[in-house]
Structure 1
Amino acid sequence: MRYDLLSTLTGGLLIVEGAAIAVLAIAQGGAIIGGDTSALESAIALLVLTVIGAAAVVAFGVATIRGRSWGRSGGIVTQLLILAVAGGAATGVFAHPLLGLQLAIPAIITLVLLFAAVRRAGRDARAERP
């Protein structure tokens, strides 16, 4: 298992994104406790899914640092989903273009780093073949 700066940086960004999702889950929990939900069952289900998502993104970050391909793949899917959410936030009836931009910029940076990590892993795998 080889640690390199690119994988460590990319995995670190994924872990930070996972932590941000965990903060969102804490805010959702506060809304549930404060009674600021219209449907308690839906709010609890959303909270559970958010916690699972945060754990998955952190796991993708750790796996990326360790050079595992499933971590990079999961990270790429995560960035694409974040970009879809950013696009939805920036357009539509209740558009918040600044929020969309705040979501999109880190996702684009992480996505580019993930693609670079994938290319490096492929190059290293080809170099190790006899």
Structure 2
Amino acid sequence: MPTHEWTMAGDDYGSRSRPRRKTFMVLAVALPVLLGLLVVLYLVGGLDGTTRSLGPKNYSAHVECQVNSAGSQGTVTVSGTITGDATRYSVTVEVLDAASHQRIGLQTFEVRGTNAFEGTTAAQAPIGPSGIECKITKVA
């Protein structure tokens, strides 16, 4: 009687590797990883030729404010400069009443491609006789 041996060597009926399934699995894993890497590079600025660090930025900033008031209403003109190691900044300026230190205005400037920013914001409370103070409260 014949004997039956079960081997996979040279057997047309045994299980074979499926190259299409392996290729699909490699693409299914590699494609999202590649897209994730591109998103991270874009967010840190690596794709537009500028590399930004994820940590704090080094900068030097100066801001000045001038108030124009009529009665209990007024506007504040904010102007300033910022220089540093980044190509873009988000600068938040707070306007305070000098006597009470109450916030009367707040404005955020997006500074890109230049180092100057300027704008006008409405004063939200009556401005006291001692004037106003401006300060940069956040740089991102």
Q: TM-score, normalised by structure 1?
A: 0.24
Instruction: Report the structure number with the largest CA radius of gyration.
Output: 2
Which has the larger share of helix? 1
Q: TM-score, normalised by structure 2?
A: 0.23
Which has the larger share of strand? 2
